[in-house]
Each structure stands twice: as C-alpha cells, then as structure tokens.
Amino acid sequence: MSPSVIQFAHTTCPLGTVLVARSETGVCAISLGDSALQLIADLNGQFPDHQIVESIDNVRLELQRVANFIEEPSGPLDIKLELNGSDFQKRVWTALADILPGQTLTYRQLAQQLGDRSASRAVGTACGQNRIAIAIPCHRVVRSDGKDSGYRWGIERKRELLHRERSLAHNELGLQYD
C-alpha cells in the first residue's frame, strides 16, 4: 500500500513563516516558525508514514485564508480540518474553537467546560499536541494566574496573536488607545 500524500505550502507572515499542510480530507497541520526548512522538517517528523509534497497550487486557498487571518484575526477561519487525535483531544480542540478572538480561558476553565475540572493537565497536554495553529486556537488558553504559558510555536507568537486579536476587537468596538 502506498503512503498517503500530504501537500503543503508556506509563506512569510508577521509571525515569521507559516506552513499549511492538507491531506485528502482537510488541513492536518498549520505550523509557525522562523524558517520554512525547519517547518518542513517538523512536518516530515509529524507524518513519517506519509509522502510529503510541496504543492502551492493545491494548498493556495487554505494558505491564503490562514495568512489573511493572521493579518486580521476576525470571525471563524473557514477551512476544512482533519483532526487526528483521541476523543478527549478532539473535545478540547472543538472547545478551543468556541473561544472568541482576543478572549482567553484558563486550562481549568476549559476543563470545567468539558465537565471535568480536574482535567486541567490533560487539557494542557491536548493543547501542546495540537498540530493546527490558528484554526485550533490553543493560544487562547492561559495559566490560572492569567499569564501566558507555553505555546508549541513560541510564547512570543502566542502573545502577538492575542495582541492582534485584542487590537482588532477593540477597533471593531470603536475603542481608542491612550
């Protein structure tokens, strides 16, 4: 049996480089980093049993939507996703998608929403195993003291994403900065 094909494309963005990868069923990875070579190597490591092929033409639409969302993070990111994970991980990732841009929840609050307030650590693990940045917004989860915690693609990117989302939300409400 031949390996499944994952096609990808990348571009630069205000957060560095963004790589979007898709299988036949949907986007299976969105990664952020400092270089395309690093992101391609990571993609190969995440999907060792797949044939990884660069294909700008076949991933252009998803890549453009992700890049536009990074520039102006409003509304839902309209791309079809392929979620590969346990049932619990999928529940966490689905709940993350319900957090509005610019808003945050703590790991404990998210665990409570899922019906198990003792699952904070499991929520954190699910966030850390998320392969689909931006579309599954694990950057919107913070520690119980409200501070930023780890982020697979770097804490500075997490802060910048939240800043962009909050700035846009403030501008849409007509609020002004001092």
Q: Which residues are catalytic?
A: 138
Q: Looking up tokens 């033409």, which residue turns up? A: 57
**DSSP, residue by residue, 103-141:** --EEHHHHHHHTT-GGGHHHHHHHHHT--BTTTS-GGGE
Tokens of 28: 């299976």
- Residue 125, CB-side half-sphere exposure with 13 Å CA sphere: 8
Report how far residue 116's alpha carbon sits from residue 9's, in angstroms, rounded to the nearest whole number.
Answer: 38
Beta-strand runs (E) in 23-124: 27-33, 50-54, 105-106
